[in-house]
Chain A
Amino acid sequence: MEKINMEKKLLVSASPHIRDHISTRRIMLDVVIALAPAALLGIYYHGLRAALLIAVCIVSCVLFEYIAVRIRKKPASIGDCSAIVTGLLLAMSLPPGLPVWMAVLGCFIAIVIIKQLFGGIGQNFVNPAVGARVFLTISFAQAMTTWVEPGTDVISTATPLAIMKDAEAVSAMPDFLDMFLGNIGGCIGETSAIALILGGIYLLARTVITWHIPVFYLGTVAFLTWMLGGNGLFTGDPFTHLIAGGLLLGAIFMATDYTTSPMTKKGAIIFAVGCGLVTSVIRLYGALPEGVAFSILFMNMLVPLIDRYTIPKNFGGR
């Protein structure tokens, strides 16, 4: 019989002894891949200006992450790629004409104030990109709502949602197909519905997200704007509401952020319906044309409460 010689000691650890290939880094890279089509279309329609903003946001987010983690004396974390996602997401929700220094300030707010000061990845109480966008909207209201017509650099234009608010200008609404493809005024990555939906399908296929939050968020907005949006009950235009503004970007990429959404399916549905409700109310009755970022921010802060009241019933429990 064979003799077995064992020089090295055996590894002893708790079960399970095998792990799935999934990792935080892989998830973040998947989100980047899913955002890519919309980002590239944004660059195509809005030109180098958009490319510059995207690059600046990603680089400054990664840099701020690196510096903040060094100061906090924590293990290096830029390898998990979450700062890239934050930078890209923030850039895509900015108007292409925004001054670069404002974008950098937004990145500082997102990474340093919202994420790292609260303990880094997994600890932020609101989505960093959403929080930074709301901060910029409030601080620089003019710059954050100045839109340029795609392909040009000078003429300022109105977004579909702003046009809808101003009932007399309805005739100026852009073509539905242009809205679907993204050939309209708006933020860099928010305008192309088709690219964002493709990204969402990719995330679903990779099981990075589940369908609950996007479907319930979009469904709530569609229903409420249809019911209350027009002149009288059930005369609204839900399709325009669905593909206009930041709704798709928000519902697919921002509201589904793990850290700031509930952990159970039941919780996720409550959260998504809440987002839809707040978005619709702001869009239909508020002073602002857009309410996606505010609604997500608001619901983010309710997540600990939702999680507390949606603890699953243990198997065989009473």
Chain B
Amino acid sequence: MKRKKTFKQGATLPHIKNTAHSPTVVMPAPETITVPMQQHIGAPCKPVLQKGDRVKVGQVIGDSDQYVSAPIHSGVSGKVAKMDIILTYDGRNVPVMIIESDGENEIHEDVKPPKVGNLNEFVKAIRASGLVGLGGAGFPTHVKLNLPNEADIDTLIVNAVECEPYITSDFREALEHTEHVIRGTEIIGEFLKIPNLIIGVEDNKPESIEILSQAAKGTKIQVQPLITRYPQGAEKMLISALTGRKVPSGGLPSDVGTIVLNITTVSFISKYLETGMPLVKRRVTVDGTAVKNPGNVEVVVGTSIRELLAFCGGITEEIKKVIMGGPMMGIANYNIDQPILKQNNAILALGKELGDPPNETPCIRCGRCVSRCPMSLMPVNLDLFSRRRDLEMLNRYHIMDCIECGSCTYNCPAKRYLVQSIRMGKTLIRQQPKVKGGK
């Protein structure tokens, strides 16, 4: 096996991957789906259908004329029941289209394999597929692929790290759709003329390393094992681990000649070029002690968490917290009627394993946060200056570089809410009016 690589600092997390050996189960489409008009970073979509309109599987229901955006499609056939506005889990009011399914799952006429002969057509097709980063961030993929000067990129990194506990949806993709992962990586490499293709996998997933290495034989793709360390799946950490390059502060992966794409995202590209079916379904890991039958479920985008949990056998104890995503960076939901979004890779219904939220005690200056921070920041000082609202000092200690991975908070013996207070500090800086002119 190849020499394992990793990045500097970071945290060691417990290896909880209960659902790693639960093959994907397909959940039938529910009677109604609630589809938000924004499921990506960028401009929200405008609905292109009205109440009462007929809709089919794979049909565009929302789109935007803005560049950084991705169209939204229906995952069921039926009719538009109504337009509404919901308060999302991250605190925004977003318009939603509620679609009543007729149970037929009739596929729309436009769903056919796209014709892609060159890079331009390829990027257009990716945009039309509605694809966004499926690892959790939800950044429109066509924007990442449409580089101003593609010749500068020499390395494509496929992110199969999945460093958060619980989540196994990318792991299942590697096992169940190995061919599409390899094919998708090759396709991107060909269209963007990228010489180095690397798939990065942590060594706590030996099966994934094994099966991908086997499949990559005879191709240009290298499967690189990584020493398990959180947050290796963060773009900047993964680039550093695999290539030794450091993305400059405030910069993008393309600044150091790399593109990073999630493994399920890459696999989807191969599937889409084959079938033309846009992103209307995805695999979600459902786990947590409160869930009766944890597992990996393929679910139509817009299905509510309530229905998804019910499909998993319901709950066995009182749910304390419902998290969209992993326990380190996921967002706690205020109710279970939120819809599953394109970028949701996990739903965790945590019960007794969660414990009570810890009480904050005074900082003892042990320096654990400093030695764990993958961005080499001083969370202890960011916490202090955020609470003091000292914006000048926050900038001096590079608060905007924080990726909010939670390594500092996880390791804090005084149980301080470091990330929470750093987020507050970031918000204060963003709210500050931009200084005009020179000095």
Please tell me which stretch of B106-114, B170-178, B241-249, B257-265 contacts chain A, meaning at least 4 of its Cβ atoms lie within 8 angstroms of it: B241-249
List the B side residues contacting A120 at CB < 8 Å: 362
- Report if A15-B331 is in contact (Cβ < 8 Å); known contacts: A8-B318, A22-B413, A314-B249: yes
Bound complex: CA A80 to CA B364 (Å): 11
List the A side residues contacting B247 at CB < 8 Å: 316
Closest to A119 in B: B362
List the B side residues contacting A262 at CB < 8 Å: 367
List the B side residues contacting A155 at CB < 8 Å: none
Band of interface residues on B: 35 or more
Which residues 269-318 of A have a CB within 8 angstroms of B?
A: 311-318
Closest to B13 in A: A18
List the A side residues contacting B423 at CB < 8 Å: 14
> Main SS of the interface on chain B?
loop
> Main SS of the interface on chain A?
loop
Q: Mark B410-433, 1 if CB is under 8 A from A, else 0.
A: 111111010110010000000000
Residue of A10, A27, A123 near B333 (CB, 8 A) is: A10
Residue of B328, B357, B364 near A13 (CB, 8 A) is: B357
Are B409 and A12 within 8 A (Cβ)?
A: no
Residue of A6, A15, A258, A313 near B419 (CB, 8 A) is: A15
List the A side residues contacting B334 at CB < 8 Å: 9-10, 12
- Report if A317-B310 is in contact (Cβ < 8 Å); known contacts: A11-B357, A17-B332, A24-B414: no
Are A316 and B251 within 8 A (Cβ)?
A: yes
Are B378 and A311 within 8 A (Cβ)?
A: yes
Are B404 and A10 within 8 A (Cβ)?
A: no
List the A side residues contacting B329 at CB < 8 Å: 15-16
List the A side residues contacting B328 at CB < 8 Å: 15-18
Residue of B13, B350, B380, B401 near A314 (CB, 8 A) is: B401
Bound complex: CA A254 to CA B368 (Å): 18
Bound complex: CA A213 to CA B350 (Å): 41
Which residues 103-159 of A have a CB within 8 angstroms of B?
A: 120-123
Are B398 and A314 within 8 A (Cβ)?
A: yes
- Report if A315-B236 is in contact (Cβ < 8 Å); known contacts: A4-B336, A19-B358: yes
Most chain A CB within a 10 A radius of its CB, from B363, B376, B413: B413
List the A side residues contacting B251 at CB < 8 Å: 316
Are B367 and A264 within 8 A (Cβ)?
A: yes
Bound complex: CA A12 to CA B87 (Å): 14
Closest to A82 in B: B364
Are B249 and A16 within 8 A (Cβ)?
A: no
Which residues 235-284 of B have a CB within 8 angstroms of A?
A: 236, 240, 246-249, 251
Residue of A4, A12, A26, A314 near B376 (CB, 8 A) is: A314
- Report if A18-B410 is in contact (Cβ < 8 Å); known contacts: A2-B310, A10-B319, A265-B371: yes
Closest to A265 in B: B371
Residue of B246, B315, B332, B333 near A315 (CB, 8 A) is: B246
B138 interface residue per 8 A CB criterion: no
List the B side residues contacting A80 at CB < 8 Å: 361
B320 interface residue per 8 A CB criterion: yes
Are A17 and B321 within 8 A (Cβ)?
A: yes
Residue of A14, A16, A258, A313 near B364 (CB, 8 A) is: A258
List the B side residues contacting A315 at CB < 8 Å: 236, 240, 246, 249, 374-377, 401
B366 interface residue per 8 A CB criterion: yes
B397 interface residue per 8 A CB criterion: yes
B309 interface residue per 8 A CB criterion: yes
A263 interface residue per 8 A CB criterion: yes
- Report if A18-B333 is in contact (Cβ < 8 Å); known contacts: A23-B415, A264-B367: no
Are B249 and A19 within 8 A (Cβ)?
A: no
B47 interface residue per 8 A CB criterion: no
List the A side residues contacting B397 at CB < 8 Å: 311
A1 interface residue per 8 A CB criterion: yes
Closest to B357 in A: A13
List the A side residues contacting B209 at CB < 8 Å: none
Closest to B356 in A: A11
- Report if A24-B314 is in contact (Cβ < 8 Å); known contacts: A18-B328, A314-B401: no
Which residues 322-374 of B have a CB within 8 angstroms of A?
A: 322-323, 327-336, 350, 354, 357-358, 361-368, 370-371, 374
Are B309 and A121 within 8 A (Cβ)?
A: no
Bound complex: CA A100 to CA B328 (Å): 51
Are A312 and B370 within 8 A (Cβ)?
A: yes
List the A side residues contacting B415 at CB < 8 Å: 19, 23
List the A side residues contacting B419 at CB < 8 Å: 14-16
Are B320 and A11 within 8 A (Cβ)?
A: yes
List the B side residues contacting A27 at CB < 8 Å: 364, 366, 413
List the A side residues contacting B294 at CB < 8 Å: none
Closest to B355 in A: A19
B306 interface residue per 8 A CB criterion: yes
CB distance from A151 to the nearest CB of B (A): 39
Q: Mark B377-409, 1 if CB is under 8 A from A, else 0.
A: 110100000000000000001100100101001
Bound complex: CA A14 to CA B315 (Å): 24
Give 5 new A-B contacts, CB below 8 A, not counting A19-B415, A314-B377: A10-B334, A13-B420, A122-B362, A316-B251, A316-B401
Which chain A residues have a beta carbon within 8 Å of chain B's beta carbons?
1-4, 6, 8-20, 22-24, 26-27, 80, 82, 120-123, 258-259, 262-265, 311-318
Which chain B residues have a beta carbon within 8 Å of chain A's beta carbons?
13-14, 165, 236, 240, 246-249, 251, 292, 306-307, 309-311, 313-315, 318-323, 327-336, 350, 354, 357-358, 361-368, 370-371, 374-378, 380, 397-398, 401, 404, 406, 409-415, 417, 419-420, 423
Question: What would 24 A/B residue contacts be, using CB atoms closer than 8 Å?
Answer: A1-B307, A6-B335, A11-B354, A12-B334, A13-B332, A13-B357, A15-B329, A15-B404, A16-B328, A17-B328, A18-B327, A19-B409, A20-B411, A22-B413, A27-B366, A27-B413, A258-B364, A264-B370, A313-B376, A314-B376, A314-B401, A315-B249, A315-B374, A315-B377
